[in-house]
């Protein structure tokens, strides 16, 4: 068996263990790198048969990644679910602050003051000051409705801005993946740092929206929204955008209502229904479902508008049924409120042509009651009374149901957020078990490869001594 063949074999063995040490050291250095999966250098034993000149040894094979694509997909799906529920929790927590049910402020507080004004007026129906107080309290009530609507509208605009910002962030992440695809196609398909960047970026993108990632044979990744709309194919990106619109079908009941926020693909086609996960889904659900139920849109009146119109109509009905004086001729009462039927809560105001002297306290009957209208108006505050009902509830109770609906949405979102957070933590833990870097394991591998390297080096020293001895004998 040739000494030089042994020397060559030992040199190859040293290189193999050196490569294994380099891979292990790279694992340790990247233990905290987002998206990094541990690598392992494969080693192959060469055949050993001295009779045929096979000297054995070790050669380095491919570097294998421990990345589990199923675990990565599980993390991304869990991240999308958590992103949606977490975003809804944040948004609804803020929306809830606009509905005060304590009765000391806002719409409920204003209604309470107006009911008190009606009650005081019923005691002294001819008192000018009592009449003027009714008008002042009515103005405060109209202001409270308009302020609440303005707060909700401001929240709606902020949500629109967040939707736009989220789409921009998603497009930026897809662009980063596009650049990584170019790098991969240029020869970095097996670069663990590039692979880590791809998976870290995909995970960040999954928090924004539900995406599907498909690995191609060249190592690049194609990305789809909900597995349907292409966002990235190789080096070509297809960005999403946002637009507000009122769908033509079905026919809008309130054409001037608030339009919804839509996500459209690169060809301008709506893909909103494909956004089922991520922060974008949470924002869209609040913007296109929760808010319209409160402020109204092209297809529904909205609970605030319904409350404002119902209350104003009932007050006006009682006042116009009464008379200011018996006459002759009797002087009819005038409506207290006016509003635009298309947007009642935002336009509610005290009748600008009304004078305090035109408030009708007299119910002409029969029988005639000098303060009958004022008493009926004061009775609107009675939760159990037949007067002042919206869908079977008193006005204050109906407002409370609006606040309760927001609270219920928030409670559901918080419950989902807690559950989704636990699932995401479990998914990441499972991924860590399969592809994460264990410093304890790497420490064992370092010792293993160091000792193997030292043994190979020792063998090289022995072969070197034998070679020197042979050379000496020749001399």
User: pTM of the prediction?
Assistant: 0.84
Are residues 210 and 279 both part of a single domain? yes
Distance, CA of 443 to CA of 28 (rounded, Å): 9
Residue with tokens 């694509």: 69
Q: Is 255 within a domain?
A: yes
Q: What is the count of structural domains for the chain?
A: 3
Which one of 300, 330, 362 terminates a domain?
300
Are residues 182 and 283 both part of a single domain? yes
Q: Is 379 within a domain?
A: yes
Q: Is 409 within a domain?
A: no
The secondary element (H helix, E strand) that includes residue 223 is: strand 221-225
Which one of 379, 401, 423 terminates a domain?
401
Average pLDDT of span 249-260: 70
Are residues 387 and 443 both part of a single domain? no
Are residues 225 and 366 both part of a single domain? no
Distance, CA of 42 to CA of 63 (rounded, Å): 6
Q: Is 411 within a domain?
A: no
Domain that holds residue 361: 106-147+303-401
Distance, CA of 343 to CA of 301 (rounded, Å): 8
Q: Is 413 strand, coil or helix? A: helix
Which one of 300, 321, 343 terminates a domain?
300
Percentages helix, strand, coil for the chain, rounded to the nearest 5? Answer: 60, 15, 25
**Percentage, residues of the chain above pLDDT 90:** 56
Cβ-count burial 11-20 (b if 16+ within 10 Å, e if not): eebbebbebb
Are residues 279 and 334 both part of a single domain? no
Q: What pLDDT sits at residue 458?
A: 76
Are residues 196 and 129 both part of a single domain? no
- Considering only 83-92, 160-169, 211-220, 463-472, which range has the smallest mean pLDDT? 463-472
Structure-token pair, residue 331? 């002087």
Q: Is 424 within a domain?
A: no
Distance, CA of 410 to CA of 346 (rounded, Å): 25
Query: How do residues 139-196 score in pLDDT, each as one tens digit?
Result: 999 999 999 999 999 999 999 999 999 999 999 999 999 999 999 999 988 888 898 8
Tell how far CA 72 is from the center of its chain: 21
Are residues 261 and 372 both part of a single domain? no
Maximum Cα interatomic distance, the chain, rounded to a whole number of Å: 149
Distance, CA of 41 to CA of 59 (rounded, Å): 10
CB neighbour list of residue 248: distance below 8 Å, 6 or more residues apart = none
250 prior amide bond cis, ω within 30: yes
Q: What pLDDT sits at residue 89?
A: 97
Are residues 84 and 188 both part of a single domain? yes
Query: How do residues 341-394 score in pLDDT, each as one tens digit?
Result: 889 999 999 999 998 889 999 988 888 888 999 999 999 988 766 566 888 888
Q: Is 100 strand, coil or helix? A: coil
Distance, CA of 114 to CA of 336 (rounded, Å): 12
Are residues 35 and 85 both part of a single domain? no
Q: Is 421 within a domain?
A: no
Are residues 214 and 98 both part of a single domain? yes
Q: Is 415 within a domain?
A: no
How open is the CA angle 253-269-73, to the nearest 5 degrees?
Answer: 115
Q: Is 288 within a domain?
A: yes
Are residues 267 and 374 both part of a single domain? no
Are residues 182 and 202 both part of a single domain? yes
How crowded is the C-beta side of 347, counted as CA atoms within 13 Å?
9
Residue with tokens 């960040």: 204
Q: Please, what sign has the CA dihedral across residues 409, 412, 413, 414?
A: positive
- Inter-CA distances, 264 with 231, 284, 288, 293, 315, Å: 12, 13, 15, 24, 46
The two counts, helices (H) then strands (E), for the chain are: 12, 16
- Confidence band (pLDDT; 50, 70, 90) for 218? very high
Query: How do residues 315-325 score in pLDDT, each as one tens digit?
Result: 999 999 999 88
DSSP string across 238-304: ---EEEEE--SSSPPSSTTSPPEEEEE-TTS-B-GGG--SHHHHHHHHIIIIIHHHHH--SS---HH
């Amino acid at each position: 068996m040739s000494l030089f063949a042994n020397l060559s074999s030992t040199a190859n063995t040293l290189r193999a263990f050196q490569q294994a040490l380099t891979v292990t050291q790279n694992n340790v250095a990247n233990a905290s790198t987002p998206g990094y999966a541990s690598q392992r250098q494969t080693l192959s034993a060469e055949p050993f048969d001295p009779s045929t000149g096979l000297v054995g040894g070790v050669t380095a094979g491919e570097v294998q990644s421990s990345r589990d694509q199923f675990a990565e997909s599980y993390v991304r799906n869990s991240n999308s679910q958590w992103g949606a529920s977490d975003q809804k929790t944040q948004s609804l927590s803020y929306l809830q602050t606009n509905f005060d049910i304590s009765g000391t402020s806002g719409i409920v507080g204003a209604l309470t003051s107006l009911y008190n004004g009606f009650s005081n007026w019923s005691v002294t129906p001819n008192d000018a000051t009592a009449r003027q107080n009714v008008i002042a309290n009515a103005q405060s009530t109209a202001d409270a409705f308009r302020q609440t609507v303005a707060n909700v509208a401001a929240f709606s605009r902020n949500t629109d801005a967040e939707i736009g910002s989220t789409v921009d962030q998603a497009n930026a992440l897809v662009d980063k993946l596009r650049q990584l695809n170019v790098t991969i196609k240029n020869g970095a398909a097996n670069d663990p740092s590039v692979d880590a960047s791809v998976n870290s970026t995909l995970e960040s993108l999954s928090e924004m929206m539900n995406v599907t990632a498909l690995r191609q044979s060249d190592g690049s990744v194609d990305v789809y929204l909900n597995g349907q709309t292409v966002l990235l194919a190789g080096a070509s990106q297809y960005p999403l955008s946002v637009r507000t619109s009122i769908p033509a079908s079905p026919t809008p009941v309130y054409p001037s209502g608030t339009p919804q926020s839509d996500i459209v693909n690169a060809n301008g086609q709506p893909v909103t229904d494909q956004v089922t996960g991520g922060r974008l889904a949470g924002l869209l659900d609040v913007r296109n479902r929760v808010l319209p139920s409160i402020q109204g849109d092209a297809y529904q009146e909205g609970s605030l508008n319904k409350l404002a119109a119902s209350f104003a109509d009932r007050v006006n009905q009682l006042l116009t049924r009464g008379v200011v004086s018996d006459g002759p001729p009797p002087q009819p009462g005038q409506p207290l409120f006016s509003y635009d039927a298309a947007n009642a809560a935002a336009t509610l105001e005290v009748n600008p042509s009304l004078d305090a002297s035109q408030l009708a306290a007299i119910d002409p009957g029969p029988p005639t009651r000098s303060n009958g209208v004022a008493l009926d108006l004061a009775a609107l505050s009675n939760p159990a009374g037949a007067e002042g009902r919206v869908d079977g509830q008193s006005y204050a109770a109906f407002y409370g149901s609006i606040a309760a609906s927001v609270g219920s949405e928030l409670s559901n979102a918080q419950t989902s957020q807690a559950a989704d957070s636990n699932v995401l933590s479990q998914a990441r833990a499972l991924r860590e078990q399969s592809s994460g870097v264990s410093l304890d394991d790497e420490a064992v591998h370092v010792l293993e490869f160091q000792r193997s390297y030292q043994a190979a080096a020792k063998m090289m020293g022995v072969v070197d001594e034998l070679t020197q001895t042979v050379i000496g004998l020749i001399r």
